[in-house]
Amino acid sequence: MKKKCSKILMFILMIVSSIFFPSAYAADDDKKSYIIIFKQAELVESEAPLQTLIKNGADTSEIMSSGTDEAKQDIVDELNLDGEVIDIYDGINGILVNINLTEANRLSALDQVESIEEDSMIPEAAFSTQKNAGWGLARIHQSTATSDNSYQYEYDGSGRTIYVLDSGLNINNPKVATEFGGRASIIWDVNFSGKGEDCTGHGSMVSSAAAGKTYGVAKGVTLKMAKISKGCSRTASLAASVKAFNWIAGNAPRGSIVNWSYGFRDRGPRIRIPCIRKYSSPALEAAIKKAYNAGIFVVIPAGNDACDTKNYSPTNIPESFVVGSTSNLDFANGKDRIASFSRTGTNISGFAPGTNLLLMNKNGQPTSNSGTSFSAPYVAGIIAVVCEFEGTLCESGNKDMATLYHLFRKTGTLNTVTNTDGTTLTGATSRFISQQW
């Protein structure tokens, strides 16, 4: 295998190095992290002429499976790269490099490069603290905007797995451990401590909404936390998110669910004109598409700036099951009004409660918060419950993911969600996703 990988590696390096020229770099040209996605190569034989390989792009899947230091250094050496290869993303034909702007511009001009973008920090989908919560679970098991102040269920997601990519979870805290009853584990920590500790509370609240015994929808599901936020920050790097989705695509069983409660926000000027900026990340979109094509349900919050989901990655792609928020402000009168902060958009799959939700904080104690960050894991939990109810439907391969997404949308109730003023919802399909099992 090593001999085969080395041979393929040399072909790839020959492709790139044949169109590179040594260059001098400005001393003050700071190096930054960039994610490079190569065009997918057609199947070609190893003895194919070099021109054919160049035309078809660089297929890095063979050498990316290991991401070894040796492979990384070989790429650096052969490219005469003034920088380093930090990571290799086998699933999406990409690499993470530390280079300067001059080199980035050179790379972007190559025929076999699909995209190149600077790594960036992605904020948690924002939330605000409010008191006197508790209506969310009571609402979510009803098909209409009514409540009997209880959460009734027959299925709890047993046998299913939800991957949460977030700020961590303090599973060594006795109260947190009790809430999940041994069903939660840490599978990765971007900080390389392996502990996955949550010091912002965001990951704890998201996890509790999806799978908590007291606070969650899927009370029997297995939860696997990947901490993608740096230290105690409220942001995760783009590279960490791409790496996590890439790993899930290659390792998570078909029919698994992943929840990513982060999102790019409107980047308007300081004197703010709302929703005039757009943000697209080809690397993040490619990683999510790879997971989706591997049979993974990808649940994403719509976002909290009241803009349109079509203008931001990854809520702009059909591979994301996008969830908006409803408010409890008029719930007592039997109405599901869209939360004032929730984005709209024709590609929103459905809505779920998103204000004044009863959740678990990082210490395992009750807290109240609002945001599409927490509507999304409610729906992730519902998907786990439905997959349990349907047996092997979600992982059998008899249905493609587009069909499964459509089937899940059909379980929602139409025409119950309204605008904030109670009028007919505009800008998105009025669909409330409820837990009926």
- pLDDT in the model for residue 396: 65
Q: From the CB of residue 356, how many other CB atoms can be counted at a distance below 10 Å?
A: 20
> Is 80 exceeded by the pLDDT of residue 106?
yes
Higher pLDDT, 136 or 259: 259
> Is 60 exceeded by the pLDDT of residue 238?
yes
pLDDT, tens digit (0-9, with 9 covering 90-100), for 245-279: 999 999 999 999 999 999 877 655 545 567 888 88
- pLDDT in the model for residue 193: 77
Q: Supply angle C-alpha 11, 13, 14, rounded to 5.
A: 65
Six token digits for residue 119 = 């790594």
Q: Are 53 and 44 in contact (CB under 8 A)?
A: yes
From 370, 373, 375, 434, active-site residue: 373
Q: Is 351 exposed, middle or buried (0-12, 13-18, 19+ CB in 10 A)?
A: buried
Q: Is 150 marked active-site?
A: no
pLDDT (average), residues 167-183: 97
CA distances from 419 to 306, 379, 416 (A): 12, 21, 10
d(CA 302, CA 323): 5
Q: Are 33 and 97 in contact (CB under 8 A)?
A: yes
Amino acid code (one letter) for 139: R
- pLDDT in the model for residue 269: 52
> Is 80 exceeded by the pLDDT of residue 167?
yes
Q: Are 5 and 13 in contact (CB under 8 A)?
A: no
pLDDT, tens digit (0-9, with 9 covering 90-100), for 356-374: 999 999 999 999 999 999 9
Q: Are 294 and 254 in contact (CB under 8 A)?
A: yes
Domain ranges of the chain: 2-119, 122-432
CA distances from 271 to 125, 145, 267, 268, 274 (A): 22, 38, 11, 8, 9
pLDDT, tens digit (0-9, with 9 covering 90-100), for 220-232: 999 999 999 988 9
- 23-27, 179-183, 198-202, 389-393 — which is least confidently predicted? 23-27
d(CA 178, CA 251): 28
CA distances from 254 to 60, 299, 395 (A): 24, 15, 5
Share of the chain above pLDDT 70, in %: 81
Which CATH number applies to 122-432? 3.40.50.200
Q: List the one residue out of 194, 197, 219 whose CA is nearest residue 208.
A: 219
Give the strands of the sheet with 366-370, arranged side by side: 128-129, 366-370, 357-360
DSSP secondary structure, 377-436, as one string: HHHHHHHHHHHHHTTTTTTSSSS-HHHHHHHHHHTSEET-EE-TTSSBP-SS--EE----
DSSP secondary structure, 255-274, as one string: T-EEEE-B-PPP---SS--T
> Is 50 exceeded by the pLDDT of residue 339?
yes
- pLDDT in the model for residue 44: 28
Q: List the one residue out of 169, 187, 194, 140 whose CA is nearest residue 358.
A: 140
Q: Are 110 and 95 in contact (CB under 8 A)?
A: no
Confidence bin at 78 (pLDDT 50/70/90): low
> Is 90 exceeded by the pLDDT of residue 397?
no
**What's CA 424's distance to the chain center, in Å?**
30
Q: Is 30 marked active-site?
A: no
Q: Which residues make beta-bridge pairs with 351?
A: 324, 432
Reported in sequence order, the residue ranges of 201-355 that DSSP labels E, i.e. its strands, are 222-227, 235-237, 257-260, 297-301, 321-327, 336-338, 348-353
Six token digits for residue 149 = 């102040």
Share of the chain above pLDDT 90, in %: 58
Q: Is 421 marked active-site?
A: no
d(CA 40, CA 66): 19
> Is 90 exceeded by the pLDDT of residue 295?
yes
- pLDDT in the model for residue 50: 26
Non-local CB neighbours of 347 within 8 Å, separated by 6+ positions: 309, 310, 315, 316, 317, 318, 320, 322
pLDDT, tens digit (0-9, with 9 covering 90-100), for 39-68: 875 432 333 332 332 334 444 333 234 467
From 59, 87, 147, 202, active-site residue: 202
What is the tally of helices (H) and strands (E) in the chain? 12, 20
> Is 70 exceeded by the pLDDT of residue 398?
no
- 153-167, 213-227, 323-337 — which is least confidently predicted? 323-337
- Strand-strand pairing, 297-301 and 257-260: parallel
From 74, 90, 119, 166, active-site residue: 166
